[in-house]
Structure 1
């Protein structure tokens, strides 16, 4: 019969491929029970969208087999951890991570990326919200086929639930679908802040915010109002788009907002006849920005009419063309983003642990040693 120490010792050999730490020290093993040779425990992953979930689970099973466990009751769950340096529960209670999607210029497909990213994360089982903060040109309602107006209960806007994601957009509140959004900067800032603080978002693992293009009032308000987990910069391969993306990158860096990485949209067109990649708008712009500023390159999204056509009729490609290479590209990017957030959250937890282990002084000024931390 194996002991708890033997089980944990074996599980310490299982390393998360992305976080590069063993699953025991990270607290991913819960509710360990051993009864008459039967071993049971819960493997709690850092996100349901982790690209290595299946690999980690298989490593755990192999680990148990290596010490002779034949009767294993393994339960696999996921709990997204908070990746924000400051938790403002009074402002956004229940929201674990805020991810803003930005671009230096319009026309690069930022909203398309935001919508399909949110849908891809939701398909993994994560709780996802989508805030359309593009006040001047909100297009999320069109892309998701939403034609209703949110209710207001107890002075709180109730998000529209669409395809398992909670959605709020300025487009819901225009009197006519063709009404133009004409607002000065301070009004834009006020609207963005209200959508953050006066909406009943509930419990969310990820709140995706589709920012207006450029480096104006809305991005500044967001960065100064709410502690953001990180920013995604969307660009296309062209030189002009790359140069403008650099400006957006510089602005958020000056505001000390973490950069999750660069996503290159419209990277290539896959020829249906020869199955070769055709680089319509050039090649490698996003990777150049990534290398130049030492920020992660999160992936390439191909150019295809399915993406455009689906967006126009309220059927995003991530839902309407599940088996397509475009959907796979969005799924891969979503998993990479979730992994980056897990890394940020883990790093913050480690820094907090290091801080809490710093020798303190007692009431008389004498140095006291920190208490030892027990292993889970």
Structure 2
């Protein structure tokens, strides 16, 4: 294969502003052959803008009528599972936007479908591809931090409830900040920790601000139909003995407009990832290590270019269905713990 023929499922902002433009940066290696959306006029509009030959009202029709090698799944979380499995069964490699799915059972079905089809399934955790994360991983792989035994994860906005899309609709998304922005930092931490298996998960969610009118730094949201949490707090104990604490919020009374951070603690050193700074004890001295230069890169572009290269016979994607299943277990366990008031054990 010298060119990847790509189909896009979903014609919303993530497809229009992220996936399609970044596929196009790959030049002759990629041909975006078709796009499908239940709002077919939107699909036709995007197709016209980007000169995509075919637009469909259903992905089933697209998969049946157009020969494709790969598919990007860019629909609300509720529809990830069926779209992904259909594309895999049609013989396509799949890049599905995060989170993997709505439930653990769905993530398991997606993983099994990928194995049965013999095709790649990867998820849109683009923070993995940042320079900070890749530099930190090189240090971790070289043993500079030793055994990472604890992590702290934050994805907190002061007033960042999205004023567009379906981000505040639990039925379509499965949750709020935890499943939307929290999964990015959670995945980053797990990736750097070697993706350990969870043993015990404890969680609590709060809905204090989203259901009433207020200042919106990301547009006005539909507070009358707000059905997700404002904030989620979780703690994970892993089977290897490590621990992780998490805070994710769309709206919280904090100083900074937004904090996206992963902090790691190992027995030979620690690190904050955004921006990257490492902490060690060397020669009887406590040292802070800050890179003099960190290349600025587009994580989305790196992610999609890596996916294209995988489809063309390069290295497999760095995010696997098995990792997707682990993160789905943790996210759903935090929500289940919040609902039941009990710790969830695996």
Q: TM-score, normalised by structure 2?
A: 0.31
Q: Which has the higher strand share?
A: 2
- Structure with greater Cα Rg: 1
